Amino acid sequence: MVETFLGRFHFHFDNRRLDFKRWISALISSHKTLFTVLWIVAFASIFVWQRSIVDGLRIFGRAHPARPIPRLRPVAFNLTDFGGVGDGVTVNTEAFERAVTAISKLGSRGGGQLNVQPGRWLTGPFNLTSHMTLFLAEDAVILGIQDEKLWPLMPPLPSYGYGREHPGPRYGSLIHGQNLKDVVITGHNGTIDGQGQAWWVKYRQKLLNHTRGPLVQIMFSRDIQISNITLRNSPFWTFHPYDCKNVIIKNVTILAPIFEAPNTDGIDPDSCENVVIENCYISVGDDGIAIKSGWDQYGINYGQPSANILIRNLVVRSMVSAGVSIGSEMSGGVSNVTVENLYVWNSRRGVRIKTSPGRGGYVRHITYRNVTFDNVRVGIVIKTDYNEHPDGGYDPKALPVLGDISFTAIHGQGVRVPVRIHGSEEIPVRNVTFRDMSVGITYKKKHIFQCAFVQGRVIGTIFPAPCENFDRYDEQERLVKRSVSQNITDIDYDF
């Protein structure tokens, strides 16, 4: 394509030069000074013309023309229709707000679509509306403004009673929504970039008085879909659906630095029902996914569980925390979660359930299937003493119930501790099943399958050999040997 274009370039150039010569000879007969001046002007204009051709060539050489934006709603707008400027400097908060106001009037007619064209669109936080599609073109980047004074404060989440990092109000999210229905954020892999660096630094230096805001937070809503885009550098949790129903996240890339980007969880379904997360790539500075349902007494009172969650076909990296977590805030309960075809690489932990006395609630009916750990320090973790509380008002006798958890087809290599299930006398872990597991370990030592206060069964042969707490069954699920005690404790955090 470039060669053809160059050929065309020479052709035009020669033509132009021929015209030019004829024009010059006409001039020579008239005035000599005028001739000199004109010669210079003409030469300069050819130079400028040539340069513009070269610039054109560079744009042309971008491999492909811009992909046309599909029409996904009856009415579509461009952000520029509302005065948006994608120069990376102009603040577009009002343009987004005007666009959302326009779309909010179209609900009864199938809603509206807002196209964000290629460019860098700096903005402060703004709200979405129902029946809206936000479409990010290829090379469109929405940039979160870093000045926290432009981030509105919101009351604490009812199930946290607290801003999570500081008491009292918290910053809202860059892209926010409450009480919505039918919202889609999609595109040709455009990006929402929270520019979280400034927030992380201020957080570490303890310069913030309020809890940082998520990148995208949708609350009390239903029928939400996020697909085909990239989310990066969130100030705090990246996507936080809170008390929502019917949430689909597919084919999304979520990125943040793997170190020194505190609390940049990828996706935190929180008191949500009917959630599908699939075909995503997540590499962040905290948990890739963390399923939650509120914190201690506030979460118990709010009483809204996370349930019916399907997570599949994911590649996740988390050097600081875990690939897929449940908890530690799970006080409204978490149930019916399936995690399958998960690949966790170069991470601290693979999959983790974390809780503590005071949480109340439950974690049950959790299925892990076809999970691969590649260079992970601890593969499977259940931790029952994650003692982080909103305030002194929690009830230490509110004990979470953990059980009915199964692990099937667990594979991997380069894992230091494949399993650490640390139940306690107060919070025993019940009915855990292992079947078909072979995980390559980095050290052939003791303490590689660590257990305490866990009851359950192992079906068939697994590697590494399970702890004595489990009953043994053969492949046909016939009892081979019953465990003498589920209370045996072999936990070693030095590993």
Ligand X SMILES: *[C@@H]1O[C@H](CO)[C@@H](O)[C@H](O)[C@H]1NC(C)=O
With contacts defined by CB under 6 A, name the span among 1-9, 36-44, 246-254, 263-271 that binds ligand X.
Answer: 246-254
487 binds ligand X (CB under 6 A): yes
Find out whether 290 and 242 touch, Cβ atoms under 8 Å.
Answer: no
Structure tokens belonging to residue 282? 């997540």
Q: Are 119 and 95 in contact (CB under 8 A)?
A: no
Cα–Cα distance for residue pair 102/98, rounded to 1 Å: 6
Site string for ligand X, 354-393 (x = CB under 6 A): ----------------x-x---------------------
Count the neighbouring beta carbons within 10 Å of the beta carbon of residue 55.
10
**Interacting residue with ligand X among 9, 42, 81, 146 (CB under 6 A):** 81
The answer to whether 424 contacts ligand X (rule: CB under 6 A) is no
Interaction between residue 228 and ligand X (CB under 6 A): yes
159 belongs to the binding site for ligand X (CB under 6 A): no
In the complex, minimum distance from the CB of residue 21 to ligand X, in angstroms, rounded to a whole number: 40
Contact status: 442 vs ligand X (CB under 6 A)? no
Among 90, 195, 301, 341, binds ligand X (CB under 6 A): 341
What does the per-residue mask of binding to ligand X show for 278-317, with x meaning CB under 6 A? ------------------------------x-x-------
491 binds ligand X (CB under 6 A): no
Binding segment for ligand X among 1-9, 73-81, 264-272, 391-399 (CB under 6 A)?
A: 73-81
What is the gyration radius of the CA atoms in the chain, in angstroms? 29
Q: Is 413 in the site for ligand X (CB under 6 A)?
A: no
Position 250 contacts ligand X (CB under 6 A) = yes
Stretch of 82-90, 160-168, 184-192, 351-359 contacting ligand X, by CB under 6 A: 184-192
Q: Which is nearer to ligand X, 53 or 102 (CB)?
A: 102
Candidate list 193, 243, 268, 286, residue with the active-site label:
286
User: In the complex with ligand X, which residue's Cβ is closer, 78 or 442?
Assistant: 78
Rounded distance between C-alpha atoms, residue 129 and residue 123, angstroms? 17
Q: Three-state secondary structure along the chain?
A: CHHHHHHHHHHHHHHHHHHHHHHHHHHHCCCHHHHHHHHHHHHHHHHHHHHHHHHHHHHHCCCCCCCCCCCCCCEEEEHHHHCCCCEEEEECHHHHHHHHHHHHCCHHHCCEEEEECCEEEEECCEECCCCEEEEECCCEEEEECCCHHHCCEECCCCCCCCCCCCCCCEECCCEEEECCEEEEEEECCCEEECCCHHHHHHHHCCCCCCECCCCEEEECCEEEEEECCEEECCCCCCEEEECCEEEEEECCEEECCCCCCCCCCCECCECCEEEEEEEEEEEECCCCEEEECCCHHHHHHHCCCEEEEEEEEEEEEECCCEEEEEECCCCCCEEEEEEEEEEEEEEEEEEEEECCCCCCCEEEEEEEEEEEEEEEEEEEEEECCCCCCCCCCCCCCCCCEEEEEEEEEEEEEEEEEEEEEECCCCCCEEEEEEEEEEEEECCCCCCCEEEECEEEEEECCCECCCCCCEEEECCCCCEEECCCCCCCCECCCCC
Q: Which two tokens stand for residue 160?
A: 């946290």
Min. distance of Cβ 195 from ligand X in angstroms? 15
Residue 346 binding ligand X, by CB under 6 A: no
Query: Per CB under 6 A, does 488 bind ligand X?
Result: no
Residue 188 binds to ligand X (criterion: CB under 6 A)? yes
Kindly indicate which of the ranges 29-37, 205-213, 297-305, 381-389 contains the residues binding ligand X, using the contact rule CB under 6 A: 205-213
Residues numbered 35 to 64 that lie near ligand X (CB under 6 A) are none
Closer to ligand X by CB, 210 or 354: give it: 210
Is residue 438 a contact point for ligand X (CB under 6 A)?
Answer: no
Question: Interface with ligand X by CB under 6 A: which range of 10-18, 249-257, 319-327, 394-402?
Answer: 249-257
Q: Out of 195, 230, 375, 408, point to the residue binding ligand X (CB under 6 A).
A: 230
395 is catalytic: no
- Total site size for ligand X, rule CB under 6 A: 38
Of these, 195, 253, 346, 489, which contacts ligand X (CB under 6 A)? 253
Q: Closest separation between CB of residue 167 and ligand X, Å?
A: 13
Which residues ranging from 449 to 478 are in contact with ligand X (CB under 6 A)? none
Interaction of residue 273 with ligand X, rule CB under 6 A: no
Angstrom distance (rounded) from CA 226 to CA 185: 5
Query: Catalytic positions, please?
Result: 286
Binding site for ligand X (CB under 6 A): 76-78, 81, 97, 115, 117, 127, 148, 176, 178, 186, 188-189, 207-209, 227-228, 230, 250-251, 253, 308, 310, 336, 338, 341, 343, 370, 372, 404, 406, 425, 431, 433, 485, 487
